[in-house]
Homo-oligomer: A and B are copies of this chain.
Amino acid sequence: MRALVDRVRAEGRNLGGGILKVDSFINHQLDPQLCREMGEAFADGFAAAGVTGVTKVITAEVSGIAPALMTGLALNVPVIYARKTRPITMPAGAYRAEAPSHTKGGIVELNVSPEYLEAADRVLLIDDFLASGKTLGAMVELIQTCGATLCGIGCVIEKSFEGGRERLAGLGVPIITLAVIDSMEGNKIVVRD
């Protein structure tokens, strides 16, 4: 996605340790128009990949919410965001998975209520980053636990050198990313054309 690639090149910062800072348009400040274009790009991309009949978009709070919401808007389906802390409004029998946190350290929980994700659902999984694929893997586990069908995985930015795409390839679903970073060394962030 041209506008996103340009934005990563202009504003992305390598903080070292594999951390890409994109706080100015994804992780702290959002560009709503750019987010809408991301949602449309995912909807178009999955349609072109032959994905049909999607009933839900799912993501993990926090940074996945904006692209997931805009994907849901483009597809006209509800969006679920997995909660990292089970709020008191969520019933005790929630689906739960765990993943290591890349930017915060430790383990994060992912909780989804069975009220909103059902075996009949056909689900797109959307998140901000495809890096190691571990958080996405935990989300896939949640989707599978409830018996729903995973139809595709979409991430805003892919760090191709962290192996996430390879880790998730066995799922046999389309994996669509909107900007691919092939390397980050010092001040040089190489974003694929």
Contact = CB atoms under 8 A, between A and B. Distances in A.
- One complex includes copies of this chain to the number of 2
B69 A23 contact: no
Contacts of A23: 87, 89-90, 113, 115-116
Interface in A90-131: 90, 103-104, 112-113, 115-116
A89 B27 contact: yes
A108 to B, nearest CB: 10
A19 B88 contact: yes
Nearest to A29: B116
A3 interface: no
Contact of A81 (B28, B87, B90): B28
Nearest to A86: B104
Contacts of A29: 78-80, 116
